[in-house]
Amino acid sequence: MEKMFSLEGKVALITGAVYGIGFAIAKAFAAAGAKIIYNANTKEALEMGAQNYKEAGIDADSYFCDVTDEEGVKAMVADIEKKYGTVDILVNNAGIIRRTPMTEMDVKDFRLVVDIDLVAPFIVSKAVIPGMIKKGHGKIINICSMMSELGRETVSAYAAAKGGLKMLTRNICSEYGEANIQCNGIGPGYIATPQTAPLREIQPDGSRHPFDQFIIAKTPAGRWGTPEDLMGPAVFLASDASNFVNGHVLYVDGGILAYIGKQPQ
């Protein structure tokens, strides 16, 4: 059983894994034996990542790379393959969100979100799949979202991108499952990260943010998730334990998608 979940000797590329969900997944993969490689698109982010990995005791390699730049991604993957061998595990984690009402959102901002959250996973997956085919095995994990299934005010671009990512996940499964490549998604619920910090701020009167109250009431688990809640599911989808799981999105949401909500008192 331990061998089934082992990532010993595997090369894992996790995009944008400087902090938060991506960093938690990287820590889990490293503990399971994988070599960790991540990218960032700013010098500041690379420096932050280097410090975070050093403090965690993880010998990770990093690349300055914008995942929306196809030529840059191809060069990064080629260098990884030269130094470490085939990318065995890809986690498409890099992403952004813009919380703006749809009629007030600039088209350029909509396109930016779709470019990073949907087009980039296509670009990076496209770059690693040939090596996986040649090796005869590979794992791709796309960080989807509950917004792959649900809509909500102010996140039209994000929901559109994540819904598309869910379908890209299924299509990679459909095209390359016969090559022994498993492509699955993780759909985090509301996770306590720097990205969601504004939604959890204590109000001037000492009360919880209205959205914070809403999420707690809507989640059967009665809490926000943590990045660490994603560690076990990610290792499962990256390991041999999931070799017959393909085209699936595993929602790690504390039960939100199963729950209609509390009845008004």
Catalytic residues: 158
Those residues with Cβ within 8 angstroms of residue 124's Cβ, 6 or more apart along the chain or in another chain: 13, 15, 67, 73, 77, 90, 92
Q: Residue for token digits 């008192």?
A: 265
Q: Which residues touch 50 (CB under 8 Å, ≥6 apart)?
A: 62
CA gap 221, 218 in Å, rounded: 9
Q: Cα(62)–Cα(163) distance, rounded to whole angstroms? A: 29
Selection from 85, 91, 174 nearest residue 132 by Cα? 85
